[in-house]
Chain A
Amino acid sequence: MQITNKFRKYISVALGIFLFLLLWEGIIKLFHISDFLLPSPLKVFNTYISMALKGKLFFHTWITTIEALTGFFIGAFIGIALGYIVSKSKTLDRILSPFIIAAQTTPKLALAPLFLIWFGFGLLSKIFITALIVFFPIFVNTAVAIKSINPNLKALMKLVHANKWQIFKKLEVPSSLPMLFAGFKSGITLAIVGAVVGEFVGASAGLGYLIMFNMGHLDTASVFTVIIQLIIISIIFYEIIAMGGSRLMRWHESEKDNW
């Protein structure tokens, strides 16, 4: 039963992609769109292979991956820590919230040049931009998760004389997992955005840099290739997190097979 369901899932995804490529090719043929404006899927595929064979694509992917993942881990760590602290103390919540909301409402693209001035054109500035973008959804989800723990479960832990560490480990952590993983999922996709935004503003490597470079050379097929590479790594990271979540939350409604 489970195998059939998984098989059905893969077939639907493959079918969806195939239909999308067909539509893409159809539009080009129907409206006689030039390669410069919209290259055909086949052209993009060929460019992808040639860039991959030269090793260029993977080098830049590696740079963006390092920036995105390091930024993600830093942002997630600070988000979880501050989210937890704020959920436990109303005073700290009042003090920190205005700063956190201000940091979130400021467009990150506007901050990117500042980060470049402060941390240079290397990896560090991109890592910090990424961490700042990733931080907020994880911070909010952690705070909400801890605040919304079933009060009867808290009473239960008090009744069985659980100490603070036992409450943290046996109640707060498992109870927060669904919201935390929801935060991780949006965080990881934002991490790629953060790294690319940083690279747009000023970089000498990375997929964002590669997009800008190819745009400068009016090489639309290469730009598409890089975009597809970004989509691929985003999906891989997202799926890794989703799989981690599924392993840890077999009990949760969201992880039950609804197919």
Chain B
Amino acid sequence: MISTNKIIYRVENLTKTFESEKERIDALSNVSFEVKEGEIVVIVGPSGCGKSTLLRIFSRLIEPTKGKIIFQDKISSDLKNSEFGFVFQDSTLMPWRTVIDNIVLPLEIKGEDKKEMYEKAIKLLRLFNLERFEKYYPSDLSGGMSQRVAIARALINNPTVLLMDEPFGALDEIMRQKLDFELLNIKRKTNKTIIFVTHSILEAVIIADKIIVLGLNPNTVIGSKIINLPEERAPKLLTETVFFENVTEIRKILEERYANNK
């Protein structure tokens, strides 16, 4: 399950500028980094540093102003929808669909055989321990359960990459950490490449193989770090010195940047 050395994504000088009549916002400036196959890359940074914009360019919801993302030697604009799954900050479940009907949506849109798609969905429900909630509507689920359903929906296409935009940001700290470890567990079982955006340094260190730190003004990469923690991580990790050393290092990258800005 560990990342191979094969580079799956190459982000080259990515720049995104939003222009309106009144103002011009440089959401991203010359961002470059690489993602290896099977790796969890976490992008951290303060609010407004362009983390979500970056992920939206990855998913082709928006186009970059300059630069490119190369996915397995293809320019990202040529990707098919089965190559990545996307998880939003809010679960973005359709309230009129039951849990299982939400999960099958991407396959339903593709026109896949009904029986097959529901079989796939049931397997995913089992993976997330959600079998009991198959017929529930999203309004009957807790925030944590809704996010699990959203991840299951993102996985149903069996994508190569999972793009996650602060998926646990709206949850309380305890639930958030529980889902972080659950995500690691899912990752072990499915071996997906994950690009995860968060503003929480703790969360980043819990799940990351590599952390990319984005700064503000210019919104570009100000540092990166390979996380040297054991591959199998459990909640007791949160009490270990090595965990805090990693957290401190990331914090230092951000603090130095802001100290320089003052």
Which residues of A come within 8 Å of B, CB atoms? Answer: 150, 152-153, 155-162, 166, 170-171, 174-175, 177, 249-253
19 CB-based A-B contacts, threshold 8 Å? A153-B94, A155-B61, A156-B92, A160-B81, A160-B106, A160-B109, A160-B110, A161-B81, A161-B109, A162-B109, A166-B109, A170-B94, A170-B108, A171-B94, A174-B94, A175-B94, A251-B138, A251-B139, A252-B95
B residues with a Cβ closer than 8 A to A are 59, 61, 81, 86, 88, 90, 92, 94-97, 105-106, 108-110, 137-139
Could you say which residues of chain A place their CB within 8 Å of the CB of B92?
150, 152-153, 155-156
A158's contact among B61, B97, B105, B110, by CB below 8 Å, is which?
A: B61
Contacts of A152 in B (CB 8 A): 88, 90, 92
Interface pair A251/B61, CB less than 8 Å apart: no
A246: min CB distance to chain B, Å: 13
A159-B86, A174-B96 given as contacts; is B137 within 8 A of A251 (CB)? yes
CB-based contact B137/A159 at 8 Å = no
| Chain B: CB-nearest residue to A166 | B109
A160 CA to B110 CA, complexed, in Å:
8
CB atoms of A159 and B94 under 8 A apart: no
**CB-nearest residue of chain B relative to A161?**
B81
Docked-complex contact A177 and B96, CB < 8 angstroms = yes
Partner pick for B96 among A160, A166, A249, CB 8 A cutoff: A249
Contact, CB under 8 Å: A156 / B137: no
Please measure, in the bound complex, the distance between the C-alpha atom of A174 and the C-alpha atom of B97, giving whole angstroms: 9
Known contacts A152-B88, A156-B86, then 19 further A-B pairs from the complex at CB < 8 Å, ordered by chain A residue: A155-B92, A156-B88, A156-B92, A158-B61, A160-B81, A160-B106, A160-B109, A160-B110, A161-B81, A161-B109, A166-B109, A170-B108, A170-B109, A171-B94, A175-B96, A250-B137, A251-B95, A251-B96, A252-B96
Contacts of B109 in A (CB 8 A): 157, 160-162, 166, 170
Query: Do A159 and B59 touch across chains, with their CB atoms under 8 A apart?
Result: yes
Task: Give Cα A150–Cα B110 distance, bound, in whole angstroms.
Answer: 22
Q: Chain A residues near B61: list those with CB within 8 A.
A: 155, 158-159
A253 to B106, alpha carbons, bound, how many Å? Answer: 26
Residue of B nearest to A157 (CB): B109
Q: Contacts of B138 on A, CB cut-off 8 Å?
A: 251
For A153, list chain B residues within 8 Å (CB).
Answer: 92, 94
User: A190 vs B86: C-alpha distance in the bound complex, in angstroms?
Assistant: 45
Give the CA-CA distance A251 to B102 in the complex, in Å: 13
Q: Which residues of A contact B137 (CB under 8 A)?
A: 250-251
A2 to B105, CA, bound (A): 32
B204 to A: closest C-beta gap in Å: 23
B105 pairs with A160, CB closer than 8 A: yes
Closest residue of chain B to A174 (Cβ to Cβ) is: B96
The interface residues of chain A lying within 8 Å CB-to-CB of B105 are 156, 160, 170
A253 to B138, CA, bound (A): 11
Asked whether A159 lies within 8 Å of B96 as measured between CB atoms, the reply is: no
User: CA–CA, A250 to B97, complex, Å?
Assistant: 10
> In the complex, A157→B153 CA distance in Å?
12
